[in-house]
Structure 1
Amino acid sequence: MAWGVSSVAGMNTSRIALVTGANQGLGRALVEGLAARMSRDDLVLLTGRSRQRVTDAAREAARLPTTRARVEGRLLDVTDTDAVARLAEELRARHGGVDVVVSNAVARVLPGESQAERADEFIDVSNTATHAVLRSFGPVLRPGGRLIVVASSLGTLGHLDPRLHHLFDGASLNQVESVVESWRTAIHNRTAQEAGWPLWLNVPSKVAQVAAVRAVAAERRPRDLATGTLIAAVCPGMVDTATSRPWFTDYSGAQPPARAAGPVLDLILTEHVDPALYGELVRFGKVLPWHDGTPPVEQDRFLTP
């Protein structure tokens, strides 16, 4: 992907990048990395749902000595699907589209909290929002652009009970969304475990994120490959953040957010992407095969039902 000035609909326009969940952690590091590696005519939008935190984070990122591109804060609650759609339309109207979208928002759940009681917020932030970003920003992604969903190595199908595989394998985005809502209902009805759903929300949520990316990519593949456009899910590895730290007793392998952002930024900013990465879950530049993985067996010790 060439990172100079492009021509859209006969107009010269700078590159536009947007990161959700960008007040802190990996999202903040991605904004800072994009701002350092893009050009002075480009714009990086740092988004989140707290006006004060968005304002403060954007101001601090803009003042970093490494920053080259413009950085602006934008209030965005990713669980508000109408707000996501409005922002996408605004960027289309003002700039002719968007070049980079990173869907990174995640809800924080602590080990001692009830997974069932936190299910709605977790699913809304991780899955409903992912579906909204894919639906709204996919159509305004410029040729050669990047639409990236931050997921996890737990997002491969094999991490689910085999009884559930058919629900996600080869599913359309509408079907993925329907499965997610059925899972949500089963949690509330206390029938999820007997159907094979794990207690830990993170596993089905991440599998659903990757399935949603695969669904959208399947529909767009020929056109996107012809224009050098990339849609993919990424696993950044273990990141040392307030969200992830409580879940691990051994944190020796964790990366600070800035280091974890590096391979993701390399994937976004490289001019020529390996077509084999398109529509896949990518970790450190390599594809994690969709059908790999086994259901976690130690997770229940962290949880209260």
Structure 2
Amino acid sequence: MNASRIALVTGANQGLGRALVEGLAARMRPDDLVLLTGRSPQRVTEAVHEVTRLPGTHARVEGRVLDVTDNDAIARLAEDLRARHGGVDVVVSNAVARLLPGESQAQRADEFIDVCNTATHAVLRSFGPVLRPGGRLIVVASSLGTLGHLDPRLHHLFDGASLDQVEYAVESWRSAVHRGTATEAGWPLWLNVPSKVAQVAAVRAVAAERRDHDLATDTLIAAVCPGMVDTATSRPWFSDYSHARSPSDAARPVLDLIFTEHVDPSLYGELVRFGRHLDWHDGTPPVEQDRLLTP
């Protein structure tokens, strides 16, 4: 990637997003710019202040207030970066809605889908066109994002789908949750599963349209699984955290992927975990979490 690079991370006030900003700022150059984005002006300001004071920070770090549920705001930010800088070099879509095991999945569905899925679609649509040659557009998902984690009745909604079709499938799922017919149709109770599958499907859809051109210019679009990360968002879901990674440790392989000089074609458009892609058709429905959520 060229000098004077521009990087942006969503959901970057804390946890993995914050660690990714720190890692980008440490690995990039003094004339590069890392944008730390979040919804709260105060938390964005505080996070930027703390990151800039860390030893080893080289790049400039600036804050941008961004509510990822506002599609127009995402589009405006992308256009502003195109106008000011000619585009962006690194975009990491990391924002996530916190969900607790005891909460009603149906009551939280709209917020969860808006933050995790509708925002992902908006980032792909808005930042894909302004991604410079040699750039990286990364969506943070999880190993639950492979198709096999869904009931086979739902596979046709995402396998080989366009981005428009993925969006339609997500909204169909949202409607089924509100109607109380989601379980009957095969959707898991746990919102995180179809959400992650849809995120990876969206990445695959966009990548399929750009693959030849992007590989010719060493440009990467991919989803990533950072593994189990010890954060406030994930901790309530697991009883054993002995193998969990700190945000900084979890960020390292994601940063390695971003800063790899040449794109590995086997990783392009795929869900990548620790430098290897996960089989899109792999996985089994996570019945343990569904049991946890069943009254």
TM-score (norm 2): 0.99
C-alpha displacement of 1:300: 2.2
TM superposition shift of 1:204:
0.2
1:63 maps onto 2:18 in alignment: no
Q: Which residue of 1 aligns with 2:184?
A: 194
Give the aligned partner of residue 205 of structure 1. 195
Three-state SS of the structure 1 residue aligned to 2:106 is: coil
Indicate the SS of the match to 1:73. strand
Note the alpha carbon deviations across 1:184-217, whole angstroms, 9 max, x for none: 0000000000000010000000000000000000
Q: Secondary structure at the match of 2:107?
A: coil
Q: Deviations over 1:124-180 (max 9, x none)?
A: 000000000000000000000000000000000000000000010000000000000
Establish whether residue 182 from structure 1 lines up as the match of residue 172 from structure 2.
yes
CA distance in 1, matches of 2:59, 2:98: 30
Contact 2:37–2:63 under 8 Å retained in 1: yes
1:46 aligns with 2:36: yes
Matched, 1:161 2:170: no
> CA offsets per residue over residues 21-80 of structure 1, 9 Å max, x none?
000000000000000000000000000000000000011101111100000010000110
- Give the equivalent residue in structure 2 for 1:270: 260
Amino acid at match of 1:61: V
Q: How many residues align?
A: 295
> How far is the alpha carbon of 1:301 from its aligned partner?
3.1
Which amino acid counterpart does residue 65 of structure 1 have in structure 2? P
Alignment partner, residue 79 of structure 2: 89
- Other-structure match for 2:120: 130
Between the aligned partners of 1:300 and 1:293, the Cα distance in structure 2 is 15
Q: 1:112, 1:304 within 8 Å by CA — same for their partners in 2?
A: no
TM-superposed CA distance for 1:304, in Å, is 5.2
Equivalent position SS for 2:148? helix
The answer (yes or no) to whether the contact 1:234–1:282 under 8 Å persists in 2 is: yes
Partner of 2:104: 114
Instruction: Report the counterpart of residue 207 of structure 2 in structure 1.
Output: 217
1:10 corresponds in structure 2 to: none
Structure 1 stretches (4+) deviating beyond 2 angstroms? none
Partner of 1:77: 67
Check conservation: 2:25, 2:59, Cα contact below 8 A.
Answer: yes
Question: How far off is 1:302 after superposition?
Answer: 2.4
The residue number in structure 2 matching 1:253 is 243
Map of 1:294 onto structure 2:
284
CA distance in 2, matches of 1:246, 1:194: 27
1:229-255 alpha-carbon deviations (Å, 9 max, x no partner): 000000000000000000000111100
Offset from partner CA, 1:264-284 (integer Å, 9 cap, x none): 000001111211100000000
Identity %: 85
User: Using the alignment, how far apart are the partners of 2:35 and 2:244 within structure 1?
Assistant: 27
Counterpart of 2:271 (choices 275, 281, 301) is 281
2 CA distance for matches of 1:243 and 1:151? Answer: 14
**Corresponding residue of 2:139:** 149
Q: Distance in 2 between matches of 1:41 and 1:251?
A: 39
Q: What letter is aligned with 1:250?
A: D
One-letter identity of the residue aligned with 1:235: C
How far off is 1:299 after superposition? 1.2
- Counterpart AA for 2:198: A
Give secondary structure in 2 for the equivalent of 1:72.
Answer: strand
Partner of 1:11: none
Output the CA distance in 2 between the equivalents of 1:291 and 1:193. 21
Q: 2:8 — aligned with what? A: 18
Q: What residue identity is the alignment partner of 2:12?
A: A
> In 2, Cα distance between the equivalents of 1:142 and 1:304?
46
Residue 223 of structure 2 corresponds to which residue in structure 1?
233
Residue ranges of structure 1 left out of the alignment (5+ in a row): 6-13
- Conserved 8 A contact 1:115-1:304: no
Please tell me whether the aligned partners of residues 215 and 263 of structure 2 are also in contact (alpha carbons under 8 angstroms). Answer: no
Write the distance in 1 (CA, Å) between the matches of 2:281 and 2:172: 22
